[in-house]
Structure 1
Amino acid sequence: MHRTWLEPVRNRLAESRLTLDELVSRSGYSKTRLSELLRGKGYYPSWEITYSVIRALEIPVAPLRRLWMAAAMEAAKDSAWIKSGIEDVHPLDPEDQPVAHLGFTQAMRPPYTVYAQAFLQSRERARQVVGETFDILWLNWAEATRSEDTPRYAWELLRRMVVARAPKRPDGRPDLRAAAFSTAVQAEIPDLADRLARIDTLARFFDDIAGLSPDQRDVLVLRYLCGVRQDAVPGILGLSPAVTHTLDHHARGALDQLRPDTDAQE
């Protein structure tokens, strides 16, 4: 997820139809420096040059600064360097978060976070990915609201962010086996041998879920790993209840031979 903040910058530059020469004039940096920044190659850009570009493009600063900081840490930049770069730039003026975006994030933060945690097995990492998703969504809010279904646009963004960070099986599937250790049902089994057997069964079940189509996988993860109510799943996924029911039905059919008693997991 290195330099996740670059995509919104490139998108805004394309929308603005500014030439590189015009961006040079507005930002005060050379064409060479700006070309390196926009390509995402070579050195990791300072916040000062990044800030000059996003201000020139009239991009909301607060969400992009958070994304820049997260990517800098992921790129192993020294925390003192990050802090110094932020402090060298004039403090941010207050920015108005779109009211609709604020309402959406407040509603979706809990289910998005439990979904991310099912894949990442860490509450902290899940919160970070969800926060980055909402920041990218803010930067692309105009595009999101122009799409046919804003919740669907947001969900597909979250899924890309989560799956990119999730551990992988050799065939490229997300590895959900570790989720077997965090289910409530196995923790309540007093006998160690029975508990280990149950974990093994659940691990194989979750591994099979990971092999389903993305939409089928998402329905089952939300329902049986995250415990989300059945009637809430369509709104989270941005799909109709009928489509969600069909996905659930087909996914259950595909797993019928290997599926354990999922009722105990709800």
Structure 2
Amino acid sequence: MSPVCPSEGQPEGEPPSRRGRKPEPISPHAGACHRAWLEAVRSRLFASGLTLDELVERSGYSKTRISELLRGNGPYPRWELTYSVIHVLGIPASPMRRLWKAAAHDARKKQAWIDRCIATVAVSLGPDVPPLDHQGFTETNRAAYTDFAKVFLLNGERASWVVAETFDILWLCWDDALASADVQRFAWKVLRGRIMARIPQCEGGYPELRAAAFATVAQDQAADPAARFAQIEESFLLFEAISRLPDNQLDVTVLRYLCGLDDTTAADVMGVPLATVRSDDRHAQRTLHNTLIRRHPRECAP
């Protein structure tokens, strides 16, 4: 999902915030949790067709404050300001409040400040129940999503939290997901984006997987320390090679060989044709084999 929102700056004489105009970028200072809900809000605003001036008028806040919120500039926004915007846009308040609170903690806001912000807004959030089809989607994909996230985030609690965040984001933009070419593919991109926003990147923009390699070896209780050391070195090389695969090949490799999914289930989870998964799998295995041969030609020789 590529977030977009109307641009605030307009040439004189033109209607304000025309749809399609290049949006102002989100501040690089906005944290991963902050961006999670801000991207969804910007996307909903752009899809709504509302201009910035119309949003300002309906929210009851100044143009400066609304602009700062949409760009992620300045201090982390208070809940009452955020709620005023999502109320205008028709964004569900319950998942949004969870995302807002998580981002507030990420921004190092104290719990007392968070509680005061929430207490100032007398709003009925309604039942904390997403649409039925969203519920079915969640139950179908939770296990595979969590296993995939755990490979990169290592910690099961962190993985579960990011998956829950993903489902909340999807709740915010569920209509967009249903209107997309494939709901599974739409959702997979959201999950992947949330995971990659939270892991270190190697030089060249590749995800850092060496810690995952070490965690994998640590599960093997081999008695011989020398054998364990050699296994760690070999795993580092393998995981480094995996991290450099193209995105789809990386995802297929992780789902197939680290999460244990068959190719049909992997295709369903990613929202791609079965033939695509099989092709990506073949290309990935060939690349990994050739890479390891170059690194250790003697060990890999038949």
TM, length-normalised to structure 1 = 0.91
Separation of aligned partners in 1, 2:55 and 2:204: 43
Q: 1:157 aligns with which of 160, 167, 190?
A: 190
Separation of aligned partners in 2, 1:20 and 1:243: 42
Q: Map 1:65-214 onto structure 2 (within 5 A).
A: 65-90=97-122, 91-94=124-127, 96-183=129-216, 187-214=220-247
Shift of 1:86: 1.7
Give the RMSD, CA atoms, in angstroms. 1.9
Partner of 2:253: 220
Report the structure, 1 or 2, having the larger helix content: 1
Separation of aligned partners in 2, 1:224 and 1:218: 10
Separation of aligned partners in 1, 2:191 and 2:45: 23
Q: For the Cα contact (< 8 Å) 2:79–2:117, is it kept in 1?
A: yes
Partner of 1:8: 40
Equivalent position amino acid for 2:275 in 1:
A
Partner of 2:78: 46
Q: For the Cα contact (< 8 Å) 1:47–1:85, is it kept in 2?
A: yes
- Give deviations 1:85-123, integer Å, cap 9, x for gaps: 122222422254111111111111111111111111111
Does the alignment pair 1:255 with 2:288? yes
Partner of 1:263: none
Equivalent position amino acid for 1:104 in 2:
F
Shift of 1:207: 0.7
Question: How many pairs align?
Answer: 260
Distance 1:42 1:191, change over 3 A: same
Equivalent position amino acid for 1:77 in 2:
K
Equivalent position amino acid for 2:90 in 1:
E
Shift of 1:3: 3.2
Distance 1:163 1:3, change over 3 A: closer
Equivalent position amino acid for 1:53 in 2:
V
Q: For the Cα contact (< 8 Å) 1:111–1:236, is it kept in 2?
A: yes
Equivalent position amino acid for 2:234 in 1:
T
Shift of 1:140: 1.3
Shift of 1:15: 2.3
Does the alignment pair 1:229 with 2:296? no
Equivalent position amino acid for 2:87 in 1:
R
Separation of aligned partners in 2, 1:180 and 1:20: 48
Equivalent position amino acid for 2:169 in 1:
I
Shift of 1:167: 1.7
Shift of 1:231: 3.1
- Give deviations 1:134-170, integer Å, cap 9, x for gaps: 1111111111111111101111111111112112212
Separation of aligned partners in 2, 1:243 and 1:25: 48
Distance 1:185 1:31, change over 3 A: closer
Separation of aligned partners in 1, 2:93 and 2:219: 46
Superposition misfits of 4+ residues, deviation over 3 angstroms: none
| Structure 2 segments unaligned to the other structure (5+ residues) | 1-31, 297-302
Separation of aligned partners in 2, 1:136 and 1:224: 28
| Structure 1 segments unaligned to the other structure (5+ residues) | 261-266
Separation of aligned partners in 1, 2:219 and 2:46: 52
Q: For the Cα contact (< 8 Å) 1:179–1:225, is it kept in 2?
A: no
- Give deviations 1:38-67, integer Å, cap 9, x for gaps: 121112110011111111221111111111
- Give deviations 1:215-260, integer Å, cap 9, x for gaps: 0001111122222233311111111111111110111011114289
SS at structure 2 position matched to 1:92: coil
Q: For the Cα contact (< 8 Å) 2:94–2:126, is it kept in 1?
A: no
Shift of 1:83: 2.1
